[in-house]
Structure 1
Amino acid sequence: MNRVKMTVGQAIVKFLNNQYIEFDGVENQFIDGIFTIFGHGMVAGLGQALEEDPGHLRVYQGRNEQGMAHAAMSYAKQNNRRRIIACTSSIGPGAANMVTAALTASINNIPLLLFPSDTFSTRQPDPVLQQIEQPYNLSITTNDCFKPVTRYWDRVARPEHLMTALINAMRVLTDVSNTGAVCIGIPQDVQGESFDFPEYFFKKRVHHIARRKADDREIENAVDLIMVSKKPLFIGGGGVRYSEAGETLQSFCEEFGIPYAETQAGKSSTKSSSPMNLGGVGITGTLAANTAAEMADLVVGVGTRFNDFVTGSKEIFRNPDVRFVTINTSEFHAEKMDAERVVGDAKLNLEIIVKELHSKKYKPAYKEDEIAKIQSVWEKERQSVCNVVYTGKDFVPCVPSWTPEIINDYIRDIGGTITESNGVGIVRDVIDDDAIVVAAAGSLPADLERLWTTDVKDSYNMEYGASCMGYEIAGALGSKLAEPDREVYALVGDGSFLMLNSEITTAVQENAKITIIVFDNAAFGCINNLQMGNGIGSMCTEFRYRNEKSGRTDGNYIYVDFAKVGEGYGLKGYVAKTPEELRAALEDSKKQTRSCIIDAKVLPKTMAEGYKSWWHIGVASVSKSEVTQASYKSRLERLKKARIY
């Protein structure tokens, strides 16, 4: 057995260079690069290896560890989990900064490989700079924080550990049913230690992504349930995207005349123009999808986790006899909603079910034009909401918790008159059909799931498993690195922009043009709606000056010039206060070769509101507020109708 002597850092780099993915006969390198912020505990170890011989790995300079890890996550998503960028950090704060990204990746089942540095394995220099000490357990380091938010966690305490750690990391990263964040802590002394590694450890490894067929009995049970259903509804989730099953699902539903809905992760897997596509379902869903959901006697979830936003907190499926079927690679997810499980690949098993339904001559009981009428009613509503414009004193927004003072104060202090839903409509109208939109948190995900339409595959990158503020700009960078020939837009609220915009500099450094559209409503808008809609006074959710008389932050709105912030980074900046200015800025930004930022001043309370849906949240059971009392009473009534498992 031949051996080669190298450091742990060098071995990591060499190993990563030899990992490949094979899916449907197509083979490609799995790990394309590595994000890093060189710091204490890593720059002289893994950093030395990357500088000396990175192989094909492209080394990217991050600015914030959370941001760079979000960019890596988005890169993996845009590549449908078949290409990734790893991340490495210093010990202590650098490592801890990636915990949020690890959580986000694991919730969304996106492969994210993290190499946070660690304290000394020998413990001899302890306590070193940035080291946390726990007197009750000296083995605890910052990296233990990753344990609850990763799918695989390890610490390489000796060079020999590296082999099993990396092989297990690849196992999890390529596991379609259980992928997510992988954390391998590497103590700073061990990174530089050498070992005679066997050469076979560095051989080319091809990780085959199999299309697993479900058990025959599972398929038979699912077919039996579909056969007796009169009004089935299919829901396509992220598993449809990653299985490349969008065309299969769409043709299946069109052929049998079965409507289907989308989750945030599944959107853009199929064409919005399909006569059977009812759009998003659930709390942020469309009127069409939620109308179909409330009368469905069978719901077939394809590649979805059935989270509360999809199920409308389990209250949206109102047919008392409704049953569920789940097609999912994960046994855990396939068991949800007390469903009849079909554990396996979405595309393959849909194809098998199609053949069975053909042979049994299945027909649903929808009337010939029933779905078309539902679609028509929703399309009129969608167009109406997309074209809501400010009309002056008689203007009434969609959101019940608005007051005239909110609108008037905003116009006085900020000067914008764009409505949020109209802003989304303008963006959809102006940007290229194949452009990629990235968003994550606030009220924009609701507007986008309801109002956004696209017929271009994988053009919608929404992080809504964790609804993580700060993903948007880094996510846009990741999508651009994955698809450099497509225009990429980050749609981000002012709150999320202020929380994390550091990776703008990396986008500039890499000549990766992204266009950032800041929807500035001077608030954490959706949370303000939730707050005020449940009878709570507006407190610390609007961006206002402290009022010394009242002691609250209820003074004038704070004006932030986001265009100038972007210009400071080197972006082309625009300020848009009217719909016409927003349209003009978008048109001009398309002509630019550098990254752009559009500061869109958007009226508060002008997002789209819910359609036949309810969100189960904790509400105070005792309050002086009549609105809060009514909200709690309504919650109890809704809970009586919600499904309980």
Structure 2
Amino acid sequence: MEILRHQHEAKSVHRDTNLENKSQIIKEKIVAEDITLTAAQLIVQCLENEGVEYIFGLPGEENIRLIDAMKDSTIRFIVVRHEQGASFMADIYGRVTGKAGVCISTLGPGAINLLLGTADAFTDSTPLVAISAQVGLNRIHKETHQVIDLLNMFKPVTKWAGMIVSSAAIPEMVREAFEKAKTERPGAVYLCVPEDVEAISGLTGLRPLSQSYEADSMPGSSQIAHAAHVLQAATKPIILAGHGAVRDHAGDALVRFSERLRIPVATTFMGKGIFPDDHPNSLGTMGFMKHDYVNFGFDEADVIVCVGYDLQEFDPVRMNPNADKKILHLHRYPAEIDTHYPVTVSVEGNISAALDELAAIVTPKEGLDAADRKIRNLLKEELEYGAHTDAYPVKPQRLVSDIRAVMGESDIALVDTGSLKMWMARLYPTNQPNTCVISNGLSTMAFAVPGAIGAKLAYPDRKVLAVTGDGSFLMNSQELETAIREHIPFVVLIWVDGAYGLIKWKMDLELGHHSFVDFGNPDFVNYAESFGARGYFIEAAADLLPTLKKALSEDVVSVVVCPVDYSENIKLTNKLGQLMQPI
């Protein structure tokens, strides 16, 4: 795993160096020739200066100059079929790379379509820069064609939103947008470009601004001492690792901390892989809608060490229902206030440094007990059941097992929202961060197919699998054409049940029946082939694994269609409901 990480870092450095060289050549050429620029060209140069490699979006009447200015740049512009798809591509590109993904649209309806992926990035703490056109300043003050108050529309779902009202402000505002997107808690930002500002020409003396670098903040010694005192007195501590630990690259330190102090670790859905599931101290994933096996580990705990946990990932009442646990909050920033998240000590700053300092001064604990090992065994038994059942339609456990068997440790599975998210999050063994990508801040449907394009562009040497339900798939399936046209190969695996399965599951649990959740589907194989993709239909459970292997080995876009038996949903929650006492 360490070798793979170093190889990826080396490739990233090489890619970033090439991009810096290209941008430097362009900037030197402009200075040497002292040529004039249009505002659109200046914006593109500022984007190059920020290291932007890809922009996802659609051209419109009001942004044609900005789109055209990318033609001779180092940026690859990916023309999409819907702006929502563009926003998800940028969202997932930012999620897996840590660099700001960029999406662009025209004004009005185009900008509104960017909103969902922008909100997803905001709630998932992913760096994203959304750029849209706007009507000219000469008519923005009045009721006129396509005028919408875009700034106030984006403000609730972004860290920062601004409008360029002067060409002289372009370098500063582009720099500020990227600075806001990537620093402190990452998130989405929005930049609005009025049509008449974009059209300004004859600019001289304006150049991109140098990037600033934030000094890494170290945790305070008094915080460490107080946290160590609480942890030293703990009799049954447990660790919850969240998405913040992934963003802070704290995986190695987390493993050292757990091993040194012999404390078990659970992760959130979005934290999957930051602590390897194959590690003997791993308890699995926290966040299922009912009291799952891993919850019993938290029931018995007296201290919860929350490492990079964001409250948006799931409600803390799930792990601390009586608000009686002591909470150690290790993160880059303070915790949100919540009755069920009563922070005893907050250690703010570099997460790896905090973990290493605590590990050095706290006495090791007793390690996993029989109940902890039982949690691991129960999850293992579910996955093994999946590996050996030939039932058809295919059991969810079999789908998870076969996906894991065909995917390498560093390959990327994007898991859409629906019943399948619950099965994948609970059972899919994940040993590296950002290799099982789940949206749990906004939990939006339909990000997986367009998101796969962003993930594959970020890591072209990895296999990418979009795992989606039939409900989610048809919401953004048009982006298959984008992937085929741009030659961005990945595989879509559709779990087919002809219903909005998670809502059906919830209705059956809470109402005892379901209504208005069923729908019809097209012939997905013919549908995929009509785009130029390859289509496969699974007719027996034994066909799934070899079909996935074949599809993932080919340098094309493929769609694998698999009927799923979601009667397992109620069986699972009934089984968990019978576990009323700690195991």
Shorter chain as normaliser: what TM range? 0.7 to 0.9
Q: 1:7 to 1:125 in 2, by over 3 A?
A: farther
Counterpart in 1 of 2:342? Answer: 338
Counterpart in 2 of 1:60? Answer: 78
Counterpart in 2 of 1:384? Answer: 385
- Report if aligned partners of 2:262, 2:368 keep a CA contact under 8 Å in 1: no
Counterpart CA distance in 2 for 1:202 and 1:481 is: 25
Counterpart in 1 of 2:69? Answer: 49
Q: 1:378 to 1:575 in 2, by over 3 A?
A: closer
**1:382 Cα deviation after fit:** 3.8
Counterpart in 1 of 2:54? Answer: 33
Deviations 1:214-251 (A, max 9, x none): 22222222111111111111111112112111121012
Report the secondary structure of 2:193's partner residue: strand
- Report if aligned partners of 2:396, 2:568 keep a CA contact under 8 Å in 1: yes
Counterpart in 2 of 1:7? Answer: 38
Counterpart in 2 of 1:141? Answer: 149
- Report if aligned partners of 2:273, 2:432 keep a CA contact under 8 Å in 1: yes
Q: 1:582 to 1:505 in 2, by over 3 A?
A: same
**1:176 Cα deviation after fit:** 3.3
Deviates more, 1:295-304 or 1:155-164: 155-164
Q: 1:374 to 1:583 in 2, by over 3 A?
A: closer
**1:508 Cα deviation after fit:** 1.0
Report the secondary structure of 2:522's partner residue: coil
What one-letter code is carried by the residue in structure 2 that aligns with 1:46?
L
What one-letter code is carried by the residue in structure 1 that aligns with 2:550?
D
- Report if aligned partners of 1:296, 1:317 keep a CA contact under 8 Å in 2: no
Deviates more, 1:6-15 or 1:295-304: 6-15
Mapped pair 1:84 → 2:95: no
What one-letter code is carried by the residue in structure 1 that aligns with 2:376?
Q
Q: 2:303 aligns with which of 298, 304, 308?
A: 298
Counterpart CA distance in 1 for 2:211 and 2:485 is: 32
Counterpart in 1 of 2:373? Answer: 372
Q: 1:171 to 1:320 in 2, by over 3 A?
A: closer
- Report if aligned partners of 2:101, 2:127 keep a CA contact under 8 Å in 1: no
- Report if aligned partners of 1:42, 1:117 keep a CA contact under 8 Å in 2: yes
Q: 1:367 to 1:35 in 2, by over 3 A?
A: closer
Cα RMSD, aligned residues only: 2.6
Deviates more, 1:489-498 or 1:157-166: 157-166
Q: 1:613 to 1:193 in 2, by over 3 A?
A: farther
Counterpart in 2 of 1:322? Answer: 325
Which residues of 2 match residues 237-316 of structure 1 at below 5 A?
Answer: 237-283=242-288, 287-307=292-312, 309=314, 311=316, 314-316=317-319
Q: Based on CA coordinates, which of the two structures has the bigger radius of gyration?
A: 1
Counterpart in 1 of 2:558? Answer: 596
Q: 1:101 aligns with which of 114, 117, 120?
A: 117
Deviations 1:351-405 (A, max 9, x none): 1212222xxxx13245665533442343224423565553xxxxxxxxxxxxxxx
Counterpart in 2 of 1:549? Answer: none
What one-letter code is carried by the residue in structure 2 that aligns with 1:592?
E
**1:7 Cα deviation after fit:** 2.3
Report the secondary structure of 1:194's partner residue: coil
Give ranges in structure 1 of 5+ residues lacking alignment: 20-28, 133-139, 391-415, 544-557, 615-637, 639-645
Q: 2:358 aligns with which of 346, 353, 358?
A: 353
Mapped pair 1:191 → 2:220: no
Counterpart CA distance in 2 for 1:125 and 1:353 is: 57
Q: 1:208 aligns with which of 213, 217, 237?
A: 213
Counterpart in 1 of 2:525? Answer: 563
- Report if aligned partners of 2:265, 2:275 keep a CA contact under 8 Å in 1: no
**1:445 Cα deviation after fit:** 1.5
Counterpart CA distance in 1 for 2:230 and 2:491 is: 47
Deviations 1:134-160 (A, max 9, x none): xxxxxx534431111111101112223
Counterpart CA distance in 1 for 2:517 and 2:60 is: 36
Q: How many residues matched? A: 543
What one-letter code is carried by the residue in structure 2 that aligns with 1:364?
K
- Report if aligned partners of 2:56, 2:104 keep a CA contact under 8 Å in 1: yes
Mapped pair 1:494 → 2:470: yes
**1:104 Cα deviation after fit:** 0.4
TM-score by length of 2: 0.87
Counterpart CA distance in 2 for 1:375 and 1:207 is: 45
TM-score by length of 1: 0.79
**1:524 Cα deviation after fit:** 0.4
Mapped pair 1:122 → 2:138: yes
Between the two proteins, what is the percent identity of the paired residues? 24
**1:334 Cα deviation after fit:** 8.4
Q: 1:216 to 1:580 in 2, by over 3 A?
A: same
Report the secondary structure of 1:429's partner residue: helix
**1:322 Cα deviation after fit:** 1.4
Counterpart CA distance in 1 for 2:256 and 2:293 is: 19
Counterpart in 2 of 1:157? Answer: 165
**1:315 Cα deviation after fit:** 4.1
Counterpart CA distance in 2 for 1:561 and 1:385 is: 27
**1:286 Cα deviation after fit:** 8.8
**1:425 Cα deviation after fit:** 1.6
Mapped pair 1:174 → 2:200: no
Structure number with higher helix proportion: 2
Deviates more, 1:234-243 or 1:324-333: 324-333
Q: 1:534 to 1:169 in 2, by over 3 A?
A: same
Q: 1:148 to 1:41 in 2, by over 3 A?
A: same
Q: 1:94 to 1:372 in 2, by over 3 A?
A: same
Counterpart in 2 of 1:609? Answer: 572
- Report if aligned partners of 1:212, 1:348 keep a CA contact under 8 Å in 2: no
Deviations 1:144-183 (A, max 9, x none): 3111111110111222332432232122122132x21111
Report the secondary structure of 2:283's partner residue: strand
Counterpart CA distance in 2 for 1:521 and 1:530 is: 15
**1:262 Cα deviation after fit:** 0.7
Deviations 1:8-51 (A, max 9, x none): 211111111112xxxxxxxxx3x2121221112111x2123223
Counterpart CA distance in 1 for 2:309 and 2:351 is: 10
Deviations 1:592-617 (A, max 9, x none): 22111001111233347359989xxx
Report the secondary structure of 2:138's partner residue: coil
- Report if aligned partners of 2:456, 2:489 keep a CA contact under 8 Å in 1: yes
Counterpart in 2 of 1:111? Answer: 127
